[in-house]
Amino acid sequence: MTIASSTNDSQRLQLSPLTLPTRLLLGPGPSNAHPAVLQAMNTPPVGHLDPAFLALMDEIQSLLRYVWQTENPLTIAVSGTGTAAMEATIANAVEPGDGVLIGVAGYFGNRLVDMAGRYGATVQTLYKPWGQVFSLDELRSAMVTHRPRILALVHAETSTGARQPLEGVGDLCREFDCLLLVDSVTSLGGVPLFLDKWGIDLAYSCSQKGLGCSPGASPFTMGPRALEKLQNRKTKVANWYLDMNLLGKYWGSDRVYHHTAPINLYYALREALRLLAEEGIEYSWQRHQKNAEYLWENLENLGLSLHVEREYRLPTLTTVRIPDGVDGKAIARKLLIEYNIEVGGGLGELAGKVWRIGLMGYNSRPESVDQLVEALQQVLPG
Ligand SMILES: *Cc1c(COP(=O)(O)O)cnc(C)c1O
């Protein structure tokens, strides 16, 4: 019997080559990758221990330090999405029994609560309605009450569109001998963020939001105080894949094999970061702010109202209240199917109440706003 005749041809799937619609991704992420980033991703892979690839990893580290405004030696990309970098941060920072105070004012605050609990933290929470932020005084009194080892805050709460101010929080944490952990998934690249100046000890992000890249290689950084805590652990980091003791040796001078990096995604990330450095990080922040203001003005001209108070609005993500009597899901579906524009719906407390519109990375351009506003004029009831 030949091999060919032993297979059942009638079971073979016959599919046409991949075709997908081209969409303008103006939801909470992913955003469209920059064309040059997609092109970089098409470069044929080299081996992951090839000297050329190791040099590229060094470049990613330097570029990440620049966009984050930090000098932390342990600044790398985690192979995985933002959630993997989030888990890396929690897994390395938290030891069983540590008090971890988490500011919860949206979906991702809740995810931090769940994750920290799984790594044995004694979770302490501070709540606010979705769309609001914590004041320095509120954070101080919670620190006095709880005396945590770690304070975790979400800089850009993608579920609400609110920007948590961070100035002064690092000093507060030092006063209480506590580490400051920040989710910067929807802020990195698009919202002013000074890691070292603001005393942030641990941070993570993703590639597919403000960096204008495809998902899968996620920024992670750890400062000297966090590193010291890691080195003094009594228990092993409970996650092998994300253990910075091991990953640090792969990214550091030892280059010890740990896992096979997603080579092409690292190509993409390098190109996205290179473009950002070429633009200049502060110019990118200004661009995001300017285009967001243009969006807000246009939405208000359409008679729509925005969920977050202006002072705390994120330039990367805007929550728009769905007018009474309007079917938010039907409008979003029309935008997608008829206009090829993706916007997000609400989560949790805001489910059914808002649309979420992202202007992130490459998509933060006036043309994105114009395209969306023209479509909204057509689909919104007159
Ligand atoms: C998107 C997001 C994450 C998770 O990132 P993924 O890339 O989806 O895994 C975490 N935190 C915030 C604030 C986010 O917006």
Summarize pLDDT for 236-268 with one digit per residue, the tens.
Answer: 999 999 999 999 999 998 899 999 999 999 999
CB 110 within 8 A of CB 104: yes
- Our mutation pick for probing the ligand 1 site, out of 78, 87, 108, counting the most ligand atoms within 8 A of Cβ, is 108
Give the distance (Å) from ligand 1 centre to CA of residue 83: 6
Counting atoms of ligand 1 from 1, which one is nearest the CA of 209?
Answer: 1
Which pLDDT value is given to residue 2?
54
Domain with 347 in it: what CATH number? 3.90.1150.10
Q: Give me the phi and psi of 270, to 5 degrees please.
A: -60, -45
Q: How far apart are CA 302 and CA 373, in angstroms?
A: 8
Find the helix or strand (DSSP H, E) in which 354 lies. Answer: strand 354-358
Q: Is the CB of 86 under 6 A from ligand 1?
A: yes
Is 273 a domain residue? yes
Give the distance (Å) from ligand 1 centre to CA of residue 138: 25
- Residue owning the nearest CA to atom 15 of ligand 1: 158
Tens digits of residue pLDDT in 57-100 = 999 999 999 999 999 999 999 999 999 999 999 999 999 999 99
Which pLDDT value is given to residue 4?
56
Among candidate residues 231, 252, 277, the one where a domain is terminated: 277
| 191 class by beta-carbon count within 10 Å (0-12 exposed, 13-18 middle, 19+ buried) | buried
Q: Is the CB of 108 under 6 A from ligand 1?
A: yes
When pLDDT is cut at 50, 70 and 90, the band that residue 3 belongs to is: low
**Angle at the Cα of 28 from the Cα atoms of 27 and 29, rounded to 5 degrees:** 90
Q: Is the CB of 82 under 6 A from ligand 1?
A: yes
Tens digits of residue pLDDT in 105-143 = 999 999 999 999 999 999 999 999 999 999 999 999 999
Question: Judging by DSSP bridges, how do beta strands 74-79 and 217-222 pair with one another?
Answer: antiparallel
Our count of domains for the chain comes to 2
Cβ count near 357 (within 10 Å)? 27
Least confidently predicted of 246-255, 330-339, 368-377: 246-255
- Average of per-residue pLDDT values in the chain: 96
Q: Is the CB of 185 under 6 A from ligand 1?
A: yes
In terms of Cα–Cα distance, which of 97, 184, 103, 93 is closest to 141?
103
Q: Is the CB of 206 under 6 A from ligand 1?
A: yes
Which pLDDT value is given to residue 189?
98
Among candidate residues 220, 253, 277, the one where a domain is terminated: 277
Is 5 a domain residue? no
* Enclosing domain of residue 258: 35-277
CA 306 from centre of chain: 22
Structure tokens of 56? 């590229």
Q: Are residues 183 and 295 in the same domain?
A: no
